[in-house]
Amino acid sequence: MESILNTSKNQCYSCHTSGNTELHHIIYGSGMRKISDDNGLTCYLCAECHRGTDGVHGKNGDGLNRILKKEVQEAYEAIHGHEAWMKLIGRDYID
């Protein structure tokens, strides 16, 4: 499924640089990649924002990881509502 966020394959969703990007499953972990794929809970990130030190999978990437989870939850809830999000994901990322 196409991402529910305003993201395109050749532009990093986070830093907006153009070029090669990688698909990031915003909700990931045991069994969650397929749920992300099936529900558009993805975005495209450049290698640095994805796997770099400050990227979502990097040692200093917790802040960006939290931002993306909050943004995708807000987008999903705008379409389907909070109850549907909680049924699908089971965790609230909005502070």
How many domains does the chain contain in total? 1
Distance in angstroms (rounded) separating the CA atoms of residues 27 and 61: 14
Give the domain range for residue 70.
Answer: 22-88
Residue 6 lies in a domain: no
**pLDDT tens profile 30-88:** 889 999 999 999 999 999 999 999 999 999 999 999 999 999 999 999 999 999 999 99
pTM score of the predicted model: 0.93
Residue 3 lies in a domain: no
Distance in angstroms (rounded) separating the CA atoms of residues 30 and 53: 23
Residue 4 lies in a domain: no
